[in-house]
Amino acid sequence: MPSKNKDAPKHSEAAGTQTPDRANTNAKLQSLEADRSDATGQALRTNQGVRISDNQNTLKAGDRGPSLLEDFIMREKITHFDHERIPERIVHARGTGAHGYFQSYGCHAELTKAGFLQDPKKITPVFVRFSTVQGPRGSGDTVRDVRGFAVKFYTDEGNFDLVGNNMPVFFIQDAIKFPDFVHAVKPEPHNEIPTGGSAHDTFWDFVSLVPESAHMVVWAMSDRAIPRSLRMMEGFGVHTFRLVNAEGVAHFVKFHWKPSEGVHSVLWDEAQKLAGKDTDYHRRDLWEAIETGDYPEWELGVQIVPEADEHKFDFDLLDPTKIIPEELVPVTPLGKMVLNRNPDNFFSEVEQIAFCPGHIVPGIDFTNDPLLQGRLFSYTDTQISRLGGPNFHQIPINRPVAPNHNNQRDAMHQHIVHKGRAAYEPNSIDGGWPKETPPGPRDGGFETYQERVDAHKIRQRSDSFGDHFSQARLFFQSMSPTEQQHIIKAYSFELGKVEREHIRARQVNEILANIDLKLAAAVAENLGLPAPKAGTVKVKGSQLAESPALSQMNHPGKVGIKGRKIAVLIANGVDAASVDKMVKALEAQSARPMLLGPTSAPVKAADGTQLPVDASMEGMPSIMFDGIVVPAGKASTDAMAASGLAKHFLLEGYKHLKAMVLTQELLATLGLKEDKGLLTGDDQKAMDAFVKAVEGHRVWEREAAAEAVPA
C-alpha cells in the first residue's frame, strides 16, 4: 500500500463515522447497512442455519468408499457454487465503483424542484460505477475505449440515475442502431478477437459507413479514451435533459461532471503496457485513493438553455452526436460529489447495481432525443435477464432510501412480505392505501413536463440531425498540437490493424477528409494510402473556430499533485537522509511516494539503516507512476547505472514524458539532457521544479527528444 495517509480510515472501518460527511452518508444508507453481513465470531452453518461440524470431507461409505448422495451439506455448497455467475452486462461489463455523497452548493429552485438540489446542508448518498464499454468483465482497464460514468443518487424523493460517459457525444443518433453499433465494436463473432478494443475490421467497417459516428470516433481516438485515472475524467450526461421548477417552467440542460484532479490521460504506449502489467490499473487506483483518504471529487454542473432558445444553435439539441460548446453556454456549477467509501463486496454492489436513465425524480425530465428515448426502454429490460426478474430494485444496492410502496407483486426473487389484502388501487379494503400524491411544488407526485406533440407517425431522421462533420472538425481543431498528433497516431494504429484496405480507404477518404484534410493526409501517409482529396461533403462549419474547453490541456485541476504516485528509486548504499528529504517534500504536497528497490528485499542505506521497500522495480514498473525521483548515494547510483532493470525503468519514464529527478551520474550514464521536468539534485529547488512538472502531468516539450529513446 502507498505509504501516505497511514492514519486515514481503512476499508474495514468504513462503517464508522470518521468525518461528519461520512456520518451523514452512512446514516442515510442505514437501510442498506442492514443487509451487510459480518461473519466475525459466527459459527459456520448451512443456508438453512444448521451448524456444520466438518467442512473438509464429503460424507462417504468408508474413508476410501463412494460419496453419498444424502450429503446435503456438500450438495448445498456445490449447488450454490454452480450458480455463482450471472450474465455480464452486454456493454460496460468491465467496471468498478464506489460510494460517496452529493452536496448542492445552494438552492437551485429557480431551475428545478428536485429536492437534492435545494439545500446545501442536505447530503445525498450516491454510488458511482465507472466502466469500459467493449471488453468483458475480465478485460484490461486501460484499453482505448469510452468510459461509462454512471451515478445513482439515493434522493429522498426516489433514485435518480445519471448514466453518462466520459465523452459528451455518442456514436449514433437513433436507438434502433445500437445493436448494430455494439455488434460491430464487440469482438468479432468468429474468433472473439479483439478483447477490449476497437482496432478491428467490423468496428471500422461500421463507422466508416455511418458518418454520424464521425464526431464520437475522433473523441475515441483522442487521449480521452485512455484516462490516467477514473478520478481524472470528466463525465457527461450526453443527452439534453430538462430541469423543471415548481412553477412548471422547464430549461434544457446538459449535465457535466468536472474532476477536481483535472482531466489527464496516459500515453498510448503506457496504456498498452499497463493492460499487461496491471490489468486492474484503474480499479486499483480508485480503490487505493479512497483507502488512503484521497477522496476523488467532481463538480456537477449544467449548461442551461431556455426553452425559447431551443432552435438558436447551428445543431439540434436533441441530437446526441452534438455538444453545446462551453464557450456558447458556460457550465453553471450546482454541487459537488465526493467518493469516500469503497464497496464491501464487489458482486453485491458493483455487479448488481442496476442503472436506468429512466430513473428520474420530480424536477428532472427527458427530451425527445431518439437515443435517450430508446435507452429508457433498454436498461430495465436488460436487468430482467441479468438480475433474474423484475424485483432487482429490492437488491440492497438498488433499493431507494425513499419508501416505495405500490401494488406490484410477486415475481422471481420477491423479498418483501407484503401485508394487506388489496393489491390494487383504488380499493376500499385496505383503506385505499397506498394512494396517489397529486403533483405539487414540494413532495408532489411525479408530473411529466407537458410538451405539446402534434405530428405524423413517421420513420424519418430530422434534417437538423444531418451535419456530421462540423463538430468533429471543431473538436480536432481545438486540440493542442500534441493532442492532434496523438489523434493522428491513434487513427493510424487502429486502421493499421484493419485487414481490408477498402475499409481503411473509406475511413480516410469519406470520413477523415471531411473532418480535416491535414488529419486525413497524415493518416493516409502512415497507412501507405494515396493522399486524400478534400472531402466531398459540404461542411458548414461550427459557430466557433475553436472551443478551448475541449482540450484536456485546459483542465489542469485544482489540487496540485495530491494523490499522484511517485516512484522513489533506491538501492544499497543510498543516502538515507536524501531519501527522507525527498519523501517529506512529496508528502508535503499530499503526493504518494513509494520506495522501490532492485528486489522486494529491504535496502541497506549508506549509514547502515534498513529501508523497507513498497515494491521492486520489476513489480511496479515506471508506467504505474506519475513521476520518478532518485535520492543521492554514490554506491546506489553506481548500482543503478549497472542495472538493466533500473536503467529501463528510468528510460521508460523519460520516454513517457514523466517528471524525474536524477543524480548527475545517472543523467550522464543514460545520456539524457536536463529539461523542464528532468532535474538533478535532491534540494528544495529541484523538488519544487519536479512538483511543478508533475502538476503539468507530462513534460510535453520533451516529446521530440523522447522519440529517439528506446524503451
- List interacting residues with ligand HDE (CB under 6 A): 89-92, 95, 129, 131, 148, 150, 163-165, 170, 175, 178, 238, 320, 355, 371, 374-375, 378-379, 382-383
- Nearer to ligand HDE by C-beta: 371 or 553? 371
**Is 26 one of the annotated active-site residues of the chain?**
no
Tell the smallest beta-carbon distance from residue 36 to ligand HDE (Å).
21
CB 379 within 8 A of CB 123: no
Task: Report the DSSP beta bridge partners of residue 594.
Answer: 567
Residue 225 to residue 211: CA distance in whole angstroms: 20
- Nearer to ligand HDE by C-beta: 180 or 443? 180
Tell the smallest beta-carbon distance from residue 237 to ligand HDE (Å).
6
Tell the smallest beta-carbon distance from residue 657 to ligand HDE (Å).
30
Q: What is the 3-state secondary structure (H, E, C) of 546-595?
A: CCHHHCHHHCCCCCCCCCCEEEEECCCCCCHHHHHHHHHHHHCCCCEEEE
Tell the smallest beta-carbon distance from residue 411 to ligand HDE (Å).
18
- Nearer to ligand HDE by C-beta: 320 or 532? 320
CB 204 within 8 A of CB 503: yes
Considering the candidates 26, 159, 165, 342, report the single residue annotated as catalytic.
165
Query: N- to C-terminal Cα distance for the chain?
Result: 27
Tell the smallest beta-carbon distance from residue 483 to ligand HDE (Å).
22
Tell the smallest beta-carbon distance from residue 641 to ligand HDE (Å).
48
Residue 110 to residue 114: CA distance in whole angstroms: 11
Provide the 8-state DSSP code for 698: S
Provide the 8-state DSSP code for 466: -
Neighbours of 123 (CB within 10 A): 22
- Nearer to ligand HDE by C-beta: 129 or 604? 129
CB 639 within 8 A of CB 578: no
Tell the smallest beta-carbon distance from residue 415 to ligand HDE (Å).
20
Considering the candidates 26, 92, 166, 256, report the single residue annotated as catalytic.
92
- Nearer to ligand HDE by C-beta: 297 or 349? 349
Distances (CA, A) of 686 to 508, 568, 579, 666: 46, 14, 14, 15
CB 405 within 8 A of CB 105: no
Alpha-carbon dihedral of residues 306, 307, 311, 316, nearest 10 degrees? 90
- Nearer to ligand HDE by C-beta: 131 or 367? 131
Cα three-residue angle 107-113-116, rounded to 5 degrees: 60
Alpha-carbon dihedral of residues 192, 197, 200, 206, nearest 10 degrees? 100
**Is 165 one of the annotated active-site residues of the chain?**
yes
- Nearer to ligand HDE by C-beta: 394 or 482? 394
What residues are labeled active site?
92, 165
